[in-house]
Amino acid sequence: MIKHFMPVLFVAAAVAATPASVHAEEIDREAAAEQIEQRLQKTVERLNLTDEQKAEVEAILRDSAEKRQAVLESYGFKNGERPKLRVRQMRSMRGELNEISEGTTRQLSTVLSDAQMAEYEIIKEEQKAAMRERIQSR
């Protein structure tokens, strides 16, 4: 019986990994990476960083973005999909994302001046507001 089932599994796996689906996934990842890169560059510009600060801040923000992306994907947010999460799952995800954000802020506070940190907080609030708008418009 298992011998008869194996070809079915092979065909199902081949169909699931068609070049079109793989290509769409690559495009989604590229779009997300491009969006992250644009946000990163805008943040770096607004903070008026020294060359030394720029390298450190970019590393911190890239690491933060990767961690956030990993959390979102672990809850099913990938390839443009928006899973239906239970309230408990949403709270858990929000908690994980908040921990990442707080860690990022702590790291940045060791690199940025007080004025730059104040501007960073403004940038964060603007990004939160933009995210809320996108969610509400769906």
Of 109, 86, 89, 108, the C-alpha closest to 97 is: 89
Structure token pair of residue 49: 């960083």
Structure token pair of residue 7: 């070809």
Of 53, 69, 66, the C-alpha closest to 120 is: 53
- Does the pTM of the predicted model rise above 0.85? no
| pLDDT at position 33 | 74
CA dihedral 5, 11, 15, 19 (to 10 degrees): 140
The pLDDT profile of the chain, 138 residues, written as one tens digit per residue, is 444 433 333 333 333 443 444 444 555 667 767 877 888 888 888 999 999 999 999 999 999 989 998 999 999 888 778 888 999 999 999 999 999 999 999 999 999 999 999 999 999 999 889 888 887 886
| pLDDT at position 12 | 36
Structure token pair of residue 11: 């065909």
